[in-house]
Chain A
Amino acid sequence: MIKKVVVVPRELLMAMAYNLHIIENCLKCTFREHRLFCDLSHDALGKLQAIKATSVYPKGTLLCLEGQPPRGIYILCTGRAKLSTTSAEGKSIILRIADPGEVLGLTAAVSNTPYEATIETMEPSQANFISQSEFVHFLQEFPDVGMKVAQQLTHNCKCAYSEIRSLGLSNSVPEKIAKLILVWAEHPLDLHRQGGNGDIPIRVTLTQEEIAQFVGTSRETVSRVLGDFRRKGWLKIKGATWNIVNKKALEHLVTT
């Protein structure tokens, strides 16, 4: 019997960890043109490849702590991470959730001030770490890196101002939770699974405790509000998969 041996070039082999394909070569990353930061010139990507250290982290890894001196930045390649702060009573408050392509710890690294939030992975994630000094040189050497950093910061500013505008509104907890669900609905799980009835499937990896930390309420209140949404037939929840059945009702709740 003749065995057929297929030789795969080493650079095409993909390492795996935590069921995650590790993207080791930024120059060959197929996601980069869809990412906020990574769509850089060939030369800049070459430099990025040389200065970054790739790591894969399990869920719950702390990338940096609030108040810690800046060591560098993390480019989130895959997975998601939550940025949180702590109240005087030791309660955790989620400020926002970072998506793939975001540069984490940017403000601290650029202004050489302590990290402003604790960053924790919410699922197995890959991140490329660049030390602060190397990142500053990288930023000064390549104009397109400077432009991407400016874009990322203007995007973050825009999100922050939008958040502040909503602080001026006296939102109730159901309104806040409805708003959160509507934001998630902008990225449905699978468009093909949307039936003719208009249901929108979303994947929610946040626990009820984390949703409570996000909207500034208790887990019990989140549970009660979600139960209410279900009873009214606005939402179906099956584990991490939620189906938005009546998006209009949620929108109405937010706008009234």
Chain B
Amino acid sequence: MKRFKAKFGDGIREAWQDRKQSILVVETAKLRAVCEFARDAEKFNMLSDLTAVDWPKREKRFDVVLQLYSFSKNERLRIKAAAGDGEAVPSVLSVWPAAGWLERECYDMFGIRFEGHAGLKRILLPDEWQGHPLRKDYDILQQDEAWVRENMGIESGQ
């Protein structure tokens, strides 16, 4: 963590440990640079997971969360970057090809755009679906009723 701070200075907003797990909050614009550094210099060569968390009351409502793993150190590292609604986050696809589907899922579920991801489209939901279900303001019973009616031939809720 110290090495990350020494390298990026203010680019690392916060760093702490929660239940023995290292967490870094980075400035969104520097996300890709931090990830390249993590992969090359710090040997975090696998991206285990990429997801997001919605905090609607915050000024920048989304946290993009990356779980990294280093084979040589047998360590995990979590990197977070905040993003406002409609704000684009740099894609880490060029750093880890694993991000391809994970970023698409993130876009699908939260509506976060990843800059530099060429094939960014929905992955689990139909392409024409309206809304992003894992946002906190998307009700659990909510559906794209027009889509359901048109494609399934039923009224939603049936």
Q: Do A and B actually bind?
A: no
Report B's interface with A, CB cutoff 8 A: none
